A = this chain, B = another copy of it.
């Protein structure tokens, strides 16, 4: 079982979700395709268990984080730890928290976030919504990353900057009167950093949360 999950994660890491097939996995394990069904009832379950397997490591990182006086600072540190893991493994974003029955570590991670909300002056409903908002920011930012980049970028035939540059190039050809915003941020988009973008979105949510909790 353990080796099924580690090999599944290895395949996901090496070539993304489309590379994780039962046939490819069976080959790596040196067995037949049907064997995998002894450990796992379906591909969805395989994906959930593989995801939870690595979320277990993220959870350990989060539990190793230094204690924070301020619960909002603690939430920020936890969310950043999670997002860092997703940057390294973009496929995580698509499956995280999909099924808390199978994803025990995801549930525990959610609980850890929630415990910070318990330290704040909020109603139960506000706490529920606050934690949903934080995980929403993570998932929302992660979806961008999860988009499998074209093969040329993975090959290294085309750099990420070049890839972004192509988009910006078509944007710059748009009528500036009709697309003032697109022109305004074209420079920013070129060579933008995903972590920066995430941190900004997170900070906006956390600022709102601090306000709601009364400073």
In whole angstroms, how far apart are the Cα atoms of A101 and B192 in the complex?
19
Q: Does any Cβ of B come within 8 Å of A32's Cβ?
A: no
In whole angstroms, how far apart are the Cα atoms of A124 and B192 in the complex?
12
Q: In the complex the two chains form, is A124's CB within 8 Å of B197's CB?
A: no
Q: Which residues of A172-215 have CB atoms within 8 Å of chain B's CB atoms?
A: 178-182, 184-185, 187-189, 192, 196-197, 200-201, 203-209, 211-212
Which listed residue, B137, B170, B211, touches A207 by the CB 8 Å rule? B211
Contacts of A131 in B (CB 8 A): 181, 185
Please report A residues at the B interface, Cβ cutoff 8 Å: 98, 100-101, 107, 110-111, 113-115, 117-118, 124-133, 135-141, 143, 147, 167, 170, 178-182, 184-185, 187-189, 192, 196-197, 200-201, 203-209, 211-212
